[in-house]
Structure 1
Amino acid sequence: MSFTFTTMTLNLVLLMAMVATNILSLYHLSSTLQSPKSPKPPPPVPDQLLHQLHTIRATINHLTRLQNINNPTKKSTIPSDLLLYSHLSPIASSCHNHPELLHKYMTYTPFSLCPSDSDLAESLILRGCHPLPRRRCFSKTPQKQIPPNSLPKNPFPSSLPNNAVIWDHYQCKSFDCLNKQNPNLGFQPSRDISRFNSYKTDLDLPIQQLFQIAAAAKSVLRLGLDVGGGTGSFAAAMRLRNVTVVTTTMNVAAPNSEAVALRGLVPLHMPLQQRLPLFDGVLDLVRCGRAVNRWIPLTVMEFLLLDVDRVLRGGGYLWVDHFFSKGVDLEKVYAPLIGKLGYKKVKWATGNKTDAGGVKNGEVYLTALLQKPVSR
């Protein structure tokens, strides 16, 4: 009974709004009719009338949406999955959820140096808010610029120059400090030169083997993307083989983007939930490294996999490198999720994660090389 009353009320309001629109339009037409002999153009539509028309139209649209929502007998033509993905907020639509952070980020003095607070931008981006760049201030540069001819030409230099980074908002003030904290972060590139060339367990996929697989399938590797690639070691290894790979990375507590660029590579400063800034079907290879793991929300993981499918060409490869999760989740959640892509399993290897956290949580690693169908 309440539903019938609500529907009747909405229909009545819609009818009244439509009548009001017609009356206002008729009034406007009658007031602007001119004699055929008069050469004078009709007067402009009054701003107040335009405002009233826009208000009525917005009300009609809003009420129509409400009627569709409140009418359970009318089936939506939008798949429920797509409605779910709309909550990922890949284009700044979640900024309204963090007004204090956004206000702080956009508070600066125009036509002066931008504040040195890239960590604040990182906080917004990781929350799904991608604010517009500050358009009225000047980006800061390091106090001591290194000469361009002294920039590393080898993607695996023995060290990275500290002068190329603004260290204000980092706890460490040099690459040496970062290396001492954790030598596996990749800030000493020469340590990683053999990282993608060795084979210790079935979880490893040496680059040479990757090229052999591609050659056997009569496939070519020219362009690639490394998702969550840290300091760009995979892109550097592929560059030595004349393959162009760009790296998505974030500067969480460390200057990853600067490190990638100092190696002569291209960093894409973006989080995992953002749509890849690439056109459809243009890549030969996408690698998802250890940044892509079970801590990512499942809906974001699915969004990422489908976006990877979008940018891969037919016959291209998806390399899931050392993905870790609980063993039961890999079997019941992640393996079926990856299987939805319908890719050919070129390699599928699992192994126990033997560190303290892995043993405690019953975690396993997965390394998979999957080939997208040539045609669909």
Structure 2
Amino acid sequence: MGFTFSTMTLNLLLLIAMVATNILSLYHLSTTLQSPKSSPKPLPQIPDELLRQLHTIRATINHLTRLQDTNPNPNTKSSIPSDLLLYSHLSPIASSCHNHPDLLHKYMTYTPFSLCPSDSELAESLILRGCHPLPRRRCFSPTPKKQTPSSSFPHNPFPSSLPDSSVIWDRYSCKSFDCLNRQNPNLGFQPSRETSKFTTYTSDLDLPVQQLLQIAKSAKSVLRLGLDVGGGTGSFAAAMKLRNVTVVTTTMNVVAPYSEAVALRGLVPLHVPLQQRLPIFDGVVDIVRCGRAVNRWIPATMLEFLLFDVDRVLRGGGYLWLDHFFSKGVDLEKVYAPLIGKLGYKKVKWATGNKTDAGGVKNGELYLTVLLQKPLSR
């Protein structure tokens, strides 16, 4: 009884305090309105970040209100299946899209239920700026006018040539794979030249796939599934396919049709940027290779997130292979070696060598090839 009386007294005091505060606020407001002012002070400008947060809060409140309206009685189950409610929601666009409204508006300006505009370059510009996933559109993807029949696609992942007619070349300066090969034969668009890329040993920086498989076998580990980050035209995936290992390749079509080239070799391209969370479930991949797209040009913070996302998708005992990662020699010791060491992986291979091209000599750069094994348990 004493406890109940004390609680009632406390509630009464709080009520009196609240009423008194409101009365004082009203008195202060009326006094302020009655007193003349020479010149009103300008209102402080609201920061953009605060405005974005307010918009997010407002959208969340509206969303919760709509959900409450669909089921006003909490004791009554909704007649709509919960899984249908879950999967019927449209996926939101990435928050970085709001930082590029002009590009986003241009991308979303199209005629519904007709052919999509030829704007893959615009889409990729948004993706590389962090606007990923892109908003969905209701238009039909264009196809090449004279596409090669799929029955004519090569089964060998190292064909002598790739069919030009299976690519839409509008956005590229070159209009054929031969043109790309003439400009730079090392880009990988002539797969027959790539057959020895992962099978020969010329320096300690190389790791032939035969040696990789032997290392895994010696550790009583099996390589079945792999991911090649920044894998260009998919030559590593092709070499592993010949050895019954399934590897998917992440790539971007920045200056050439890399994704199409990977697919034409009978491989799977993932069109994702390096800053995106890998679209793979946790702990299911046996090996992740990071190609030359992963190098010192990536900000150290973003590289750290990438490495920890690689750790997320690797199974216990899986392998991380940094293939010809290059950086300044001083940065390798002070920045990248400690960054890699944060993973706590076992060092199976660690080799460095001078980067001997003009840029490498000028900037004092080194190559680093590393093969690391994730601990079986933590």
Short-chain TM bin: 0.7 to 0.9
The residue that corresponds to 2:152 in the other structure is 150
**Against the structure 1 CA distance between its residues 204 and 137, is the aligned structure 2 distance closer, same or farther, given a 3 Å change threshold?**
same
**Against the structure 1 CA distance between its residues 109 and 324, is the aligned structure 2 distance closer, same or farther, given a 3 Å change threshold?**
same
**Against the structure 1 CA distance between its residues 179 and 57, is the aligned structure 2 distance closer, same or farther, given a 3 Å change threshold?**
closer
- 1:182-261 matches, within 5 Å, as 182-261=184-263
Distance 2:246 2:113 in 1: 37
* Offset at residue 348 of structure 1 (A): 0.2
SS at match of 1:94: helix
The residue that corresponds to 2:356 in the other structure is 354
1:17-67 CA distance string (max 9 Å, x none): xx99xxxxxxxxxxxxxxxxxxxxxxxxxxxxxxxxxx99999xxxxxxxx
The residue that corresponds to 1:137 in the other structure is 139
Distance 1:149 1:269 in 2: 25
1:288-340 CA distance string (max 9 Å, x none): 01000000011110010000000000000000000000000000000000000
Q: Is the 8 A contact 1:325 1:363 kept in 2?
A: yes
Distance 2:236 2:112 in 1: 40
SS at match of 1:274: coil
SS at match of 2:316: strand
Distance 2:292 2:319 in 1: 17
Distance 2:119 2:318 in 1: 39
1:266 and 2:264 matched: no
SS at match of 2:186: coil
- 1:338 pairs with one of 337, 340, 365: 340
**Against the structure 1 CA distance between its residues 304 and 56, is the aligned structure 2 distance closer, same or farther, given a 3 Å change threshold?**
closer
Q: Is the 8 A contact 1:124 1:131 kept in 2?
A: no
* Offset at residue 252 of structure 1 (A): 0.4
Identity of aligned residues (%): 83
**Against the structure 1 CA distance between its residues 327 and 135, is the aligned structure 2 distance closer, same or farther, given a 3 Å change threshold?**
same
1:372 and 2:364 matched: no
1:52-85 CA distance string (max 9 Å, x none): xxx99999xxxxxxxxxxxxxxxxxxxxxxxxxx
Distance 1:179 1:56 in 2: 53
* Offset at residue 131 of structure 1 (A): 4.6
Listed as ranges, the gaps of 5+ residues in structure 1 are 1-14, 21-54, 60-89
**Against the structure 1 CA distance between its residues 131 and 56, is the aligned structure 2 distance closer, same or farther, given a 3 Å change threshold?**
closer
**Against the structure 1 CA distance between its residues 175 and 111, is the aligned structure 2 distance closer, same or farther, given a 3 Å change threshold?**
same
The residue that corresponds to 1:26 in the other structure is none
Amino acid at match of 1:154: N
The residue that corresponds to 1:34 in the other structure is none
Distance 1:371 1:186 in 2: 28
How many residues matched?
A: 296
Distance 1:319 1:217 in 2: 16
Distance 1:153 1:309 in 2: 33
**Against the structure 1 CA distance between its residues 104 and 57, is the aligned structure 2 distance closer, same or farther, given a 3 Å change threshold?**
closer
Amino acid at match of 2:242: L
Distance 1:262 1:213 in 2: 31
Distance 2:146 2:232 in 1: 25
* Offset at residue 135 of structure 1 (A): 2.3
Distance 2:154 2:196 in 1: 19
The residue that corresponds to 2:8 in the other structure is none
Distance 1:56 1:185 in 2: 49
Distance 1:230 1:293 in 2: 14
1:231-278 CA distance string (max 9 Å, x none): 000000000000000000000011000000000000000000000011
The residue that corresponds to 1:120 in the other structure is 122
Distance 1:184 1:353 in 2: 17
Listed as ranges, the gaps of 5+ residues in structure 2 are 1-16, 23-56, 62-91
Distance 2:59 2:357 in 1: 61
**Against the structure 1 CA distance between its residues 128 and 56, is the aligned structure 2 distance closer, same or farther, given a 3 Å change threshold?**
closer
Amino acid at match of 1:120: L
Amino acid at match of 1:242: N
**Against the structure 1 CA distance between its residues 200 and 135, is the aligned structure 2 distance closer, same or farther, given a 3 Å change threshold?**
same
Distance 1:57 1:91 in 2: 14
Amino acid at match of 2:173: Q
Distance 1:372 1:99 in 2: 42
Distance 1:293 1:223 in 2: 24
Distance 1:178 1:132 in 2: 29
1:167 and 2:169 matched: yes
Amino acid at match of 1:287: R
Distance 1:282 1:219 in 2: 14
Runs of 4+ in 1 over 6 A off after TM superposition: 55-59
The residue that corresponds to 1:177 in the other structure is 179
Normalised TM-score (structure 1): 0.76
**Against the structure 1 CA distance between its residues 235 and 56, is the aligned structure 2 distance closer, same or farther, given a 3 Å change threshold?**
closer
SS at match of 1:315: strand
- 1:283-362 matches, within 5 Å, as 283-362=285-364
Distance 1:194 1:253 in 2: 25
**Against the structure 1 CA distance between its residues 91 and 134, is the aligned structure 2 distance closer, same or farther, given a 3 Å change threshold?**
closer
Distance 2:322 2:122 in 1: 31
Distance 2:277 2:349 in 1: 27
**Against the structure 1 CA distance between its residues 58 and 166, is the aligned structure 2 distance closer, same or farther, given a 3 Å change threshold?**
closer
The residue that corresponds to 1:93 in the other structure is 95
Q: Is the 8 A contact 1:280 1:310 kept in 2?
A: yes
SS at match of 2:187: coil
Distance 2:155 2:277 in 1: 31
Amino acid at match of 1:203: L
